[in-house]
Amino acid sequence: MNLDSKIPEGPLSEKWSSHKFNMKLVNPANRRKYSVIVVGSGLAGGAAAASLAEQGYNVSCFCYQDSPRRAHSIAAQGGINASKNYQNDGDSVHRLFYDTVKGGDYRAREANVYRLAEVSSDIIDQCVANGVPFAREYGGLLANRSFGGAQVSRTFYARGQTGQQLLLGAYSALSKQIGLGKVKMYNRHEMLDLVKVDGHAKGIIVRNMATGEVSRHASDAVVLATGGYGNVFFLSTNAQGCNVTAAYRAHKRGAGMANPCYTQIHPTCIPVHGDKQSKLTLMSESLRNDGRIWTPKNAEVAAMIRKGETDPNTVAEDDRDYFLERKYPSFGNLAPRDISSRAAKEACDEGRGIASTGLGVFLDFRDAIKRDGKNTIKERYGNLFDMYQCITGDNPYETPMMIFPAVHYTMGGLWVDYNLESTIPGMFVGGEANFSDHGANRLGASALMQGLSDGYFILPYTVGNYLGEQGVAAAGKVTTEHPAFAEVEANVKARIDKFLTIGGTESPRSFHKRLGHIIWEQCGMARSKEGLEGAIKDLQALRKEFWTNLRVVGDADGINPELERAGRVADFIEFGELMCRDALMREESCGGHFRVEHQTEDGEALRDDENFAFAGVWEYKGDDVAPLLHKESLIYENVKLATRSYK
Amino acid sequence: MCTLCNFVQSTIGRKILMALTGLVLVLFVMGHMLGNLQIFLGPDVINGYAYKLHHLLPASALWAVRLVLLGTIAVHLWAAVTLTLDNRKARPQGYLEDKVVQASYSSRTMRMSGIILLAFIIFHIAHFTVRIVPGKQYEEFGVLENTMVPLVKDGEVVMKNGHEIMTFNVNDMMVLGFEVWWVSAFYIIATGLLCMHLTHGFSSMFQSLGLRNGLWRKRLDRVALAYGWIVFLGFAIIPISVMTGFLEKDPTGGLALQITETVAIIGVI
Amino acid sequence: MEKTMDLTLKVWRQKSANSMGAFETYAVKDVSEGSSFLEMLDTLSEDLVEKGKEPVAFDHDCREGICGSCSMTINGIPHGPEKATTACQLHMRHFHDGQTITIEPWRAKPFPVIKDLVVDRSPLDRIIQSGGFITSRAGSAVDANAIPISKATADYAMDAAACIGCGACVAACPNASAMLFTGAKVSHMNSLPQGKVEKDRRTLAMVTTMDGEGFGGCTNIGECEAACPKSISLDMIAHLNRDYATAQVKNFFKPVA
């Protein structure tokens, strides 16, 4: 597997501009001869499809939702970072770059992160120009706020719906191109496999989820912007439909999968309430500015609270353990996501958890209300409190909120070089689906930045460069008549038939739940060698059981939610195994990956820069063959590696 | 497509036409009501008012005004009918359970109130303008007679070129008309529906023209409600007053005298 | 401990776009009051799968009230009885033990049923495609602070832009009118300085597409506003009417070449 990162020569700050100059251009008149497939219509996919079409390429865009506007980028709340330095508080491209590398626990590629920081300003300009109603000050200038992991105010936001507004911006740009006929949009279409011709990505096989029709689509390049794989945990803050199928199918066709064990667990989600729950809801991290996180010191008191026999408000001050304040006195309740999440898990492991399941801790505003008054707190967090009450039925002004960590974002993904091209030539990967920019941990307000940077400013250049390199003679040469399409299509159809004919007794959802349980327990917030080895065995057994005891009701001729889930769960099970292998291989703790064997005496993550400063890239070798590990060394020329400390 | 066709074919364009015609009708209704209420100032005043209405402008202009009013109704009606048909088409299948959350009763019954009002307008014109509605006097005169009385101003008969100026005896026409119980009932019901139609329509008209926001919606809704009630009370009080005997035939003019005079005139001719 | 409830569901089942549909009645037991409405439907689906029957198909995705996928009329009200709440955020504590709940798809000619509760809402996309955008080529934008926008304008645009495109306004309207949806988009874009250049063209094009898709007209009754999970105001419709009238007048008297 060729892991040439193709990082341009020259000083960090000039790499991208010199690279842009060195790239091949396609004559505007020739662009219409090329076609590009974009899978996914979120920030990365939607922006890439719109920009490529604007440049003159013929674009086909696919999404599984009924409209491109519903991609899960829409659910991002907080904001988007940019090194505009509008607040005159010392921000710069370099500082955003540095914060992102440090926040990623030094496991991201320097050149990519620098470029991200560099184009961040252009993203804001572009979004404002296409009508994103960012928050403004009275003077008419853009407002900013500060966000976790940064000491400057560089986050732009549109109320608590920044993701929605950015996505609607990209969607409107995409819609314009659809209206002009430059983008052919395929809604309710799920990519089920990648087609390679002579080693290059030349098309995809999709299923129309409304009619059941399986069809072939050929192009000169393929862009995957298919999001993250958080749903491998069954319960996550992801949308129900988010899945790894497109990325994993590409992996099976030869694309390297990098760092799948890097998953981000967000500390402030609403706890699980029962076994019927389908999804976890995030409460904004900003709540930790005023809320104090605690559990009872005594497990018996916690048990009484769980049963509803004790009102948490009556627990005396001395009986409360404000564990973040105790362990991290300087950062207190504002400790970073990974650290806060782990501390909450520890408290629950000790039997001191609250909520009906014992998996929850309090986020208490009692003192803040006493100090600042109810109205102030209402002004700051009113909408979040309302949302909490809507979901749980509890009034957080009177009784402490309950929170628990939940899977939120996945930093790992398909390996890409500086051009965002995967190990399969002609297949590009953007947004959360690739591994490139966040290392082992993502900072708040960086996901939206990366998605739009990839979509608006990077892919349109690098895809063009690839097409230019292939030459205009190659444009449109491969059609769906090529035998490779027939073969892959037959595989896809056979797999669908297989799901429908196993004739077992267990539903896809049930398998998904079992998978999630294994991954959450063994490859969640704390991982151990023993646990991971057990998980791999369990997952292999689960895979066997899945393929022999699955029951999919209905047929393949139309909408069939069971069939759709079956396909996704099948890939999740295999992917989960890869995740565990990656976590097992990485004998260190960094960012979202915490190995219990590798911690300091007081339980902090212990990174091993000497042996693990690399991206672990897995090559698929066969269904029952262990995947092969490749390493891309991460070389830091511009930042000094240091231990993160929040004490 | 031509700009006008495009405008007229669009749903919003037709709504704007409805609003503009509605505005004309809203104003007309108020004027008409104020005119009618002069009956309470005595027969001479209302009859004088009728004279003014008929002679202020040349006959052609009077007809022009009438045609504009009829045209306004026609446009209002055409827009309503075509929009309703389009709206029906847009929702071929309804809900098994259909709940209304905030739409007012009057807003949901505009078509019903509108249709009945149309029927009433036709009846009303037939009754008081064309006078072909059979009434109480059916056996005697067939329909409401086109009775004339001398124009009286400040208690004096107005003379022109040595002749009395004659005018419609509106007072007696109204009294005679409303003495028929079912006419009064229909009239009161219709003005009630007019009230309902206006409580939505008056405010809705501003919405269709884009001249409303959340604050003005509340205000205009209140104004519309008041307007509707004022119009209802202003119109309904006349038949009620007639039925209760508060309003009577003109005691000074003397219907019998006028009729004989009219017959005499006809006889001379 | 959480209370549970037993419910009777009357659900619209329809095999495909071309087949006839009918209501079917199901019993669901032990529904936790902390479950969301869609989780209650998940439970029903699992029960049906258990019996080898096809589960009820319905659109859903984010389950946090922002993607706009979920679309069902619950007891006669799109998204159910709670104000400003999508079906996915509606929780079962708002229902009571023994209740019968009627669940129907969005009803509108432009939204044909594809299966069960799933309808085709692509006409809304086509309205946007015809003009619901502000043209801005990536890379050509001026600095974001170059054009100041007053806070009031930005807030108003955000109020309008909060629309999630679920189509509840169409479903709630007895005329199946898409005026609230179109009005929200037009108000958002027409009120921003960046969007003024294409304002008239946008307004006329979007209204023409809206009418062409077969949506009914607005009768200003306000059911859309009541059903809207994001509380988009009728002001947006007034704004659309205003901009439409202005655009038509300008169009009517435009200089003749």
**Helix, strand, coil share of chain C (percent; to 5):** 40, 15, 45
Report pLDDT for C1: 54
CB atoms within 10 A of CB A369: 18
| Average pLDDT value over all residues in chain B | 87
Number of CB pairs, chain A paired with chain C, less than 8 A apart: 243
Q: Report the distance separating Cα A44 and Cα A168, nearest Å.
A: 12
Position A38 pLDDT exceeds 90: yes
For residues A39 and A247, the answer to whether their CB atoms sit within 8 Å is: no
Mean per-residue pLDDT, A512-527 = 96
Q: Is B86 on the interface with C (CB under 8 A)?
A: yes
User: In this structure, what token pair is assigned to residue C101?
Assistant: 């709940």
Q: B105 exposed, middle or buried (CB, 10 Å; 0-12, 13-18, 19+)?
A: exposed
Q: Report the distance separating Cα C217 and Cα B81, nearest Å.
A: 12
Mean per-residue pLDDT, A227-251 = 97
Of B103, B204, B209, the CB nearest to C245: B209
For the stretch A535-549, pLDDT in tens is 999 999 999 999 999
Question: Would the CB atoms of B89 and C245 count as touching at under 8 Å?
Answer: no
Question: In this structure, is residue B32 part of a structural domain?
Answer: yes
Of C82, C161, C195, the CB nearest to A165: C161
- Domain around B195: 3-83+106-268
Question: In this structure, is residue B89 part of a structural domain?
Answer: no
- The residue type at A103: G
Report pLDDT for B144: 64
Question: In this structure, is residue B96 part of a structural domain?
Answer: no
Query: Residues 379..398 of A with a Cβ closer than 8 Å to C: which?
Result: 390-393
Residue of C136, C187, C188 to mutate, interface with A, max A Cβ within 10 Å: C136
| Average pLDDT value over all residues in chain C | 96
Task: Find the distance separating the first CA and the last CA of chain C, reported in whole Å.
Answer: 76
Q: C171 exposed, middle or buried (CB, 10 Å; 0-12, 13-18, 19+)?
A: buried
Mean per-residue pLDDT, C127-131 = 98
Identify the three-state secondary structure at position A11: coil
Q: Report the distance separating Cα A146 and Cα A155, nearest Å.
A: 6
Alpha helices in chain C (DSSP H): 37-50, 122-129, 151-161, 168-172, 179-191, 199-212, 223-227, 235-252
Residues of chain A with Cβ-Cβ distance to C137 below 8 Å are 54
Q: What angle do CA A269, A275, A280 make, to 5 degrees?
A: 20
Question: In this structure, is residue B95 part of a structural domain?
Answer: no
Of C227, C238, C252, the CB nearest to B3: C252
Report pLDDT for B257: 45
Q: B61 exposed, middle or buried (CB, 10 Å; 0-12, 13-18, 19+)?
A: exposed
| Residue of A393 and C23 predicted with greater confidence | C23
Question: In this structure, is residue B88 part of a structural domain?
Answer: no
Question: Would the CB atoms of B92 and C109 count as touching at under 8 Å?
Answer: yes
Of C221, C235, C241, the CB nearest to B12: C241
Mean per-residue pLDDT, B91-108 = 94
Mean per-residue pLDDT, B241-258 = 73
- Report the number of distinct structural domains present in chain B: 1
Q: Report the distance separating Cα A446 and Cα A226, nearest Å.
A: 17
Position C204 pLDDT exceeds 50: yes
Q: Is C159 on the interface with B (CB under 8 A)?
A: no
Report pLDDT for C49: 94
Q: Which domains does chain A have, with CATH numbers?
A: 36-264+409-474 (3.50.50.60), 265-338+353-407 (3.90.700), 483-633 (1.20.58.100)
- The residue type at A120: S
Question: Would the CB atoms of B11 and C216 count as touching at under 8 Å?
Answer: yes
Q: Report the distance separating Cα C120 and Cα A429, nearest Å.
A: 30
For residues A176 and A53, the answer to whether their CB atoms sit within 8 Å is: no
Residues of chain C with Cβ-Cβ distance to A69 below 8 Å are 68, 125, 128, 165
A337 is catalytic: yes
Q: Which residue of B has its CA nearest to C178?
A: B90
The rounded percent of chain C whose pLDDT value lies above 90 is 94
Residues of chain A with Cβ-Cβ distance to C154 below 8 Å are 133-136
User: In this structure, what token pair is assigned to residue C51?
Assistant: 């019996």
For residues A41 and A190, the answer to whether their CB atoms sit within 8 Å is: no
For the stretch A135-163, pLDDT in tens is 999 999 999 988 766 788 999 999 889 99
Touching, B vs A (3+ Cβ pairs under 8 A): no
Give the ipTM of the model, two decimals please: 0.97
Which chains have at least 3 CB atom pairs separated by less than 8 Å from chain A?
Answer: C
Question: Would the CB atoms of B9 and C211 count as touching at under 8 Å?
Answer: yes
Position B8 pLDDT exceeds 50: yes
Q: Is A136 on the interface with C (CB under 8 A)?
A: yes
What is the per-residue DSSP string for B80-138?
HHHHHHHHHHH-SS--SS---SS--HHHHTHHHHHHHHHHHHHHHIIIIIS---B-TTH
Question: Would the CB atoms of C2 and A274 count as touching at under 8 Å?
Answer: yes
Report pLDDT for A260: 98
Q: Is A507 on the interface with C (CB under 8 A)?
A: yes
Catalytic residue, from A154, A320, A337, A442: name it: A337
For residues A527 and A594, the answer to whether their CB atoms sit within 8 Å is: yes
Mean per-residue pLDDT, B169-193 = 91
User: Please, which residues bridge with residue A527 across strands?
Assistant: A595
Question: Would the CB atoms of C151 and A138 count as touching at under 8 Å?
Answer: yes
Q: A498 vs chain C: nearest CA distance in angstroms?
A: 17
Q: Report the distance separating Cα C95 and Cα C81, nearest Å.
A: 10
Report pLDDT for C149: 97
Residue of A59, A123, A276 to mutate, interface with C, max C Cβ within 10 Å: A276
Question: Would the CB atoms of C217 and B217 count as touching at under 8 Å?
Answer: no
Question: Would the CB atoms of C102 and B97 count as touching at under 8 Å?
Answer: yes
Q: Report the distance separating Cα A567 and Cα A402, nearest Å.
A: 35
Residues 6 or more apart from B111 whose CB is under 8 A from it? Answer: B80, B84
Q: If pLDDT is split at 50, 70 and 90, which confidence band does B146 have?
A: low
- Give, in order, the Cα–Cα distances in Å from A611 to each of A580, A589, A633: 19, 12, 10
Report pLDDT for B252: 66
Q: C1 vs chain B: nearest CA distance in angstroms?
A: 33
Cα–chain-centroid distance for residue B80? 19
Q: If pLDDT is split at 50, 70 and 90, which confidence band does C46 have?
A: very high
Q: B139 exposed, middle or buried (CB, 10 Å; 0-12, 13-18, 19+)?
A: exposed
Question: Would the CB atoms of B214 and C234 count as touching at under 8 Å?
Answer: yes
Q: Report the distance separating Cα B20 and Cα B113, nearest Å.
A: 19
Residues 6 or more apart from A573 whose CB is under 8 A from it? Answer: A511, A515, A539, A542, A543, A546
Touching, B vs C (3+ Cβ pairs under 8 A): yes
The packing angle between helices A561-585 and A245-252, to 10°, is 60
Q: Report the distance separating Cα A561 and Cα B172, nearest Å.
A: 77
Q: Report the distance separating Cα A599 and Cα A589, nearest Å.
A: 7
Q: Report the distance separating Cα B214 and Cα C238, nearest Å.
A: 10
Question: Would the CB atoms of A126 and C138 count as touching at under 8 Å?
Answer: yes
Of C129, C135, C149, the CB nearest to A140: C149
Q: Report the distance separating Cα B113 and Cα B194, nearest Å.
A: 7
Question: Would the CB atoms of A130 and C49 count as touching at under 8 Å?
Answer: no
For the stretch A55-98, pLDDT in tens is 999 999 999 999 999 999 999 988 999 999 999 999 999 999 99
The rounded percent of chain B whose pLDDT value lies above 90 is 62
For the stretch C168-203, pLDDT in tens is 999 999 999 999 999 999 999 999 999 999 999 999
- Give, in order, the Cα–Cα distances in Å from B76 to each of A344, B2, B22, B69, B222: 67, 22, 7, 11, 24
Q: B117 vs chain C: nearest CA distance in angstroms?
A: 18
B168: domain CATH number? Answer: 1.20.1300.10
Sheet holding C4-13, edge to edge: C22-32, C4-13, C100-104, C73-74, C77-78
| Residue of A38 and B127 predicted with greater confidence | A38
Question: Would the CB atoms of A273 and C69 count as touching at under 8 Å?
Answer: no
For the stretch A267-284, pLDDT in tens is 999 998 888 889 999 988
Token pair 């689960």: residue: A542
Q: B228 vs chain C: nearest CA distance in angstroms?
A: 17
Question: In this structure, is residue B128 part of a structural domain?
Answer: yes
Residues of chain C with Cβ-Cβ distance to A175 below 8 Å are 125, 128-129, 132-133
Q: Is C13 on the interface with B (CB under 8 A)?
A: no
Q: If pLDDT is split at 50, 70 and 90, which confidence band does B3 have?
A: confident
Q: Which residue of C has its CA nearest to A305?
A: C1
Position B148 pLDDT exceeds 90: no
CB atoms within 10 A of CB C53: 14
Report pLDDT for B229: 97
Q: Report the distance separating Cα A239 and Cα A237, nearest Å.
A: 7
Question: Whose CA is closest to B11, among C204, A522, A179, A235?
Answer: C204
Alpha helices in chain B (DSSP H): 3-9, 11-36, 43-55, 59-90, 105-108, 110-124, 138-141, 170-178, 181-208, 214-243, 255-268
For the stretch C53-70, pLDDT in tens is 999 999 999 999 999 999
Question: In this structure, is residue B164 part of a structural domain?
Answer: yes
Position B166 pLDDT exceeds 90: no
Phi then psi for residue B191, to 5 deg, are -70, -30
Position A195 pLDDT exceeds 90: yes
Q: Is B99 on the interface with C (CB under 8 A)?
A: yes
What is the per-residue DSSP string for C9-46?
EEEEE-SSTTS--EEEEEEEEEEETTSBHHHHHHHHHH
Q: Is B136 on the interface with C (CB under 8 A)?
A: no
Position A193 pLDDT exceeds 60: yes
Radius of gyration of chain A from Cα atoms?
24
Report pLDDT for C150: 97
Q: If pLDDT is split at 50, 70 and 90, which confidence band does B265 have?
A: very low
pTM of the model: 0.95
For residues C164 and C188, the answer to whether their CB atoms sit within 8 Å is: no
Q: If pLDDT is split at 50, 70 and 90, which confidence band does B268 have?
A: very low
Pairing of strands A628-633, A257-258: unpaired
Question: Would the CB atoms of A553 and C59 count as touching at under 8 Å?
Answer: no
Report pLDDT for B264: 43
Alpha helices in A194-330 (DSSP H): 245-252, 299-307, 323-327
Residues of chain A with Cβ-Cβ distance to C150 below 8 Å are 136, 138, 140
The rounded percent of chain A whose pLDDT value lies above 70 is 100
Q: Which domains does chain C have, with CATH numbers?
A: 4-114 (3.10.20.30), 122-252 (1.10.1060.10)
The rounded percent of chain A whose pLDDT value lies above 90 is 87
For residues A129 and C142, the answer to whether their CB atoms sit within 8 Å is: yes
Q: C195 vs chain A: nearest CA distance in angstroms?
A: 7
Question: In this structure, is residue B101 part of a structural domain?
Answer: no
Q: C124 vs chain A: nearest CA distance in angstroms?
A: 9
| Average pLDDT value over all residues in chain A | 95
Identify the three-state secondary structure at position C4: strand
Q: Report the distance separating Cα A418 and Cα A113, nearest Å.
A: 10
Residues of chain C with Cβ-Cβ distance to B103 below 8 Å are 221-223, 226
Q: C111 vs chain B: nearest CA distance in angstroms?
A: 10
For the stretch A338-392, pLDDT in tens is 888 989 999 999 999 998 889 999 999 999 999 999 998 888 888 889 889 988 8
Residues of chain A with Cβ-Cβ distance to C143 below 8 Å are 125
Q: B69 vs chain C: nearest CA distance in angstroms?
A: 23
